[in-house]
Amino acid sequence: MLVAEVAIFAPLPRPLTYQIPDELLHTLKVGSLVYVFVGRSKKEGLVVGIQELEQPPTYLIKPIVGMIYDVPVTDSLLIELYHWIERYYFASFSDVLEAAIPQAIRKNTAIKLQSLLHAEENEGPDVKKFPKQYEAWCFLRQNPGMLKEEFLKKFSRNVFDALLKKHFLYEVFQRQERQVYAQFLPQVGMTEAVTLTEQQRAVCEIIGQNLEKGTFGVYLLHGVTGSGKTEVYIEMIQKIIHEGGSVLYLLPEVTLTAQTVKKLRQRFPNIPVHVWHSGLSEGERRDTWFQIMDHPGTLVVGARSAVFLPLQNLRLVIVDEEHERTYKQEENPRYHGRDVAVYRAKLAQATCILGSATPSLESYYNASKGKYTLVTLPQRVDHRTLPQVTIVDMCYEKGAVFSKILQDKMVERFERREQVMLFLNRRGFAPTVLCPSCDYVATCPHCSIPLTYHKSRQTLLCHFCGYEIAPTKVCPKCGAPEILYRGLGTQRVEEVVQKIFPQVRLARLDSDILQKKYAFIEVLEQFQKHELDLLIGTQMIAKGLDFPNVTLVGLINADGSLSQQDFRANERTFQLLVQVAGRSGRGDLPGEVVVQTRIPGNETLYFAKNTDYSAFFEKELTEREMFHYPPYRHMIALHISSRNASLAELWSQDFLKKTLQPSRDCFPPQTDIRGPVPSPVEKVQDRYRFVLYFLTPKVSRTVQTLRVLLANCTVPKEIALAWDIDAYDFS
């Protein structure tokens, strides 16, 4: 008897065994999506294994009900990747499947059909009685196969309905492939020729040697901002596509995909460039998934979830801006897109390029130890200079949003018709709303964080759970008539700019204005065409964007990330400042950067001002080694949450004292257990959170030990556990 191991899209501990019916024996394969019964419920499942039973079973094995598609939607290599994520990231296999195979594929989202109209060849409507119908009929005879929506722009719905009812026209339905970023499809004459610099050619030669061998290898491409890393990617992509291979190109932000896709379609007008990110509709996801499956040599640009796409003959994986924290998934399974991409390249024996102007300490450390190969682009293209950086001490600016230096430089740029970017990594108008009389602070009732005032929506909003209330003019605690709005958000910066520079054309780019699908594309296109003089934004504008006419970048508050109680605070600040500064002076005109801070003597700011990555890396590594923090050890966080704060704290203490401490010898040597302590944000969505940290040199062995310990431990149903392997921060 031939049976299949089926992983159900439901929280079950293991795959279930089902009999393969005779009618599916020749079509069912590993990677097929199927319908099966679990109890009396019909469920979707993924075939992860097929085997022949040597002996007839002594129990009844249910048959597979049917296949959702007649072809597999994934392959054995990807299923091996799912299992690795399950093991390494302490995840359930069902959670991995939910993340890897989107609902649009599991639920078989309907294909999109378009209606093409044709006129019947027989005699048409009476021209005297129905002149408009006759005109429409004649028009269709001259334009057979016209799209229905185009026809309805010229003639009324009543005319269409009458012709259809009288059989003077008929519809032919044809499948329409949904095309993401259709406005960026290549046009004749759009292809541009680029001559590589000597440094770029040297890097391409090194990476190209591994591509020719067809073996796994990881290259850390460390290039300063504006050094032309994208041109290196394109050169490697061209080589792979020419040989019929596939390329996966990962980006950390949705806002970067449009500009990248536009450039790639210009350079490769004869091949499809597919897009994958969270902004796609269910239909776009379905069509893109199967378009990729149907073509053995394809190019995909996407966010972290694109790492699960079923590319055939994968030869090259690119992780651009590899240092970005947005590659880390915040929900289960909490995988890191960069590390999963490296492992996928390993499974496929592909080449992986990790690119950044400010590499993560983990990647740079791996390169220094020979695990990765380091290649560098130390200079900008065309001998362009890095921007001049001015650090301004805001302690002398008396609470102003803009320092006099920044304001004067903005005036100069606007007068010269050059463009300016202002960066502040906090959306909204004011992050704190308080009463000066009783020190009341407006706080979310469901989360232990202040509510942020959003002036454009006239609401106080929680950025964790979405709770919102209307702002009041009197204190709800003491009734005082004065409420203060303190702190800076992008909306307030926008308002101040409009008052100082009323004639300036500006736009704001943060998550608040991205409610409309692809609204960011319109903003970036306007800025690219110089229809805007100023762009204000959060981290969305901090990396990857290329605007040659930007000659001034202002960092409104450079201290925000430095004040975080986190061992990565210096690293994040350095990366952020260098990346934001790198948006300036990318064209023929020299660039400037103004950094506003209240701690101008901070060493991290000094390293960032001089773009001195090597010195920063050495200093930071010395401190990390002293405390045995990553990259010297891995950090695992166990988040314990409950609606009952006392229960969560008590269980955390018991787990430490009764389970972990007596089993210390089971963990790898040099493993430290710290906590439990309240999470930095102690309450989120009415759940109180505590956390235990494990600093360990061996993740696999530690996770294996923890699985065994938890299996022999009772967890109350009121408590939820969430594991974060290689935790990125202390939150």
For the CA atoms of 492, 684, 699, 328, what is the dihedral angle to 10 degrees? Answer: -30
Residue-level pLDDT at 178? 65
Per-chain mean pLDDT for the chain: 89
Residue 119 and residue 238 share a domain? no
Contact 416, 424 (CB under 8 A): no
Q: Is the pLDDT of residue 729 over 80?
A: no
Instruction: Answer with the one of 151, 175, 199 that is the final residue of a domain.
Output: 175
Domain count, the chain: 5
Task: Name the more confident of 587 and 656.
Answer: 656
Residue-level pLDDT at 55? 79
Residue 680 and residue 721 share a domain? yes
Instruction: Answer with the one of 106, 137, 158 that is the final residue of a domain.
Output: 106
For residue range 403-433, what is the model confidence (pLDDT) as tens digits?
999 999 999 999 999 999 999 988 889 999 9
pLDDT bucket at 170, cuts 50 / 70 / 90: confident
Contact 497, 517 (CB under 8 A): no
Residue 456 belongs to some domain of the structure: no
Q: In what order do the strands lie in the sheet containing 468-469?
A: 452-454, 459-461, 468-469
For residue range 657-687, what is the model confidence (pLDDT) as tens digits?
999 999 999 999 999 999 899 998 999 999 9
For residue range 302-341, what is the model confidence (pLDDT) as tens digits?
999 999 999 999 999 999 999 999 999 988 999 999 999 9
Strand 484-486 to strand 432-434: parallel, antiparallel, or no bridges (unpaired)? antiparallel
Residue 243 and residue 169 share a domain? no
Task: Name the more confident of 218 and 170.
Answer: 218
pLDDT bucket at 281, cuts 50 / 70 / 90: confident
CATH of the domain at 38: 3.40.1440.60
Q: What is the 3-state secondary structure (H, E, C) of 640-691?
A: EEECCHHHHHHHHHHHHHHHHHHHHHHCCCCCEEEEEEEEEEEEECCEEEEE
Residue 656 and residue 522 share a domain? no
Residue 475 belongs to some domain of the structure: no
For the chain, state the CA radius of gyration. Answer: 29
Residue 280 and residue 390 share a domain? no
Say which residues have a Cβ less than 8 Å from residue 413's Cβ, sequence separation at least 6. Answer: 419, 420, 551, 552
Residue 434 belongs to some domain of the structure: no
Q: Is the pLDDT of residue 27 over 60?
A: yes
- Report the C-alpha gap between 42 and 472 in whole angstroms: 51
Residue 719 and residue 691 share a domain? yes
Q: Is the pLDDT of residue 543 over 90?
A: no
Average pLDDT over residues 616-627: 92
Residue 58 belongs to some domain of the structure: yes
**665 Cα distance to chain centroid:** 39
Q: Which domain holds residue 6?
A: 2-106
Residue 156 and residue 82 share a domain? no
Residue 552 and residue 412 share a domain? yes
Residue-level pLDDT at 730? 67
Average pLDDT over residues 711-728: 92
- The vertex-664 CA angle with 658 and 669, nearest 5°, equals 165
- Report the C-alpha gap between 392 and 582 in whole angstroms: 18
Residue 422 and residue 288 share a domain? no
Residue 503 and residue 522 share a domain? yes
Helix (H) / strand (E) element for 318: namely: strand 314-320
Q: Is 370 helix (H, G, I), strand (E, B) or coil?
A: coil
Residue 54 belongs to some domain of the structure: yes
Percent of the chain surpassing pLDDT 90: 56
Percent of the chain surpassing pLDDT 70: 96
Residue 117 and residue 39 share a domain? no
For residue range 180-214, what is the model confidence (pLDDT) as tens digits?
766 666 654 445 667 899 999 999 999 999 999 99
Beta strands in 357-469 (DSSP E): 373-377, 388-393, 419-423, 432-434, 452-454, 459-461, 468-469
Q: Is the pLDDT of residue 254 over 80?
A: yes
Task: Name the more confident of 619 and 123.
Answer: 619
Residue 292 belongs to some domain of the structure: yes
**178 Cα distance to chain centroid:** 21
Residue 453 belongs to some domain of the structure: no
User: Which range, 10-14, 81-85, 225-229, is most confident?
Assistant: 81-85
Contact 220, 351 (CB under 8 A): no
Residue-level pLDDT at 697? 94
Residue-level pLDDT at 189? 45
Instruction: Answer with the one of 175, 203, 221 that is the final residue of a domain.
Output: 175
Indicate the pTM of the whole model: 0.88
Average pLDDT over residues 432-459: 90
Residue-level pLDDT at 188? 46
- Report the C-alpha gap between 104 and 293 in whole angstroms: 15
Residue 693 and residue 583 share a domain? no
Q: Which of 26-30, 277-281, 321-325, 652-656 has the lowest mean pLDDT?
A: 277-281
CATH of the domain at 519: 3.40.50.300
CB atoms within 10 A of CB 167: 9
Residue 469 belongs to some domain of the structure: no
Residue-level pLDDT at 57? 75
Helix (H) / strand (E) element for 119: namely: strand 113-119
For residue range 105-162, what is the model confidence (pLDDT) as tens digits?
998 877 666 788 888 877 788 888 888 988 888 888 888 888 888 888 888 889 888 8
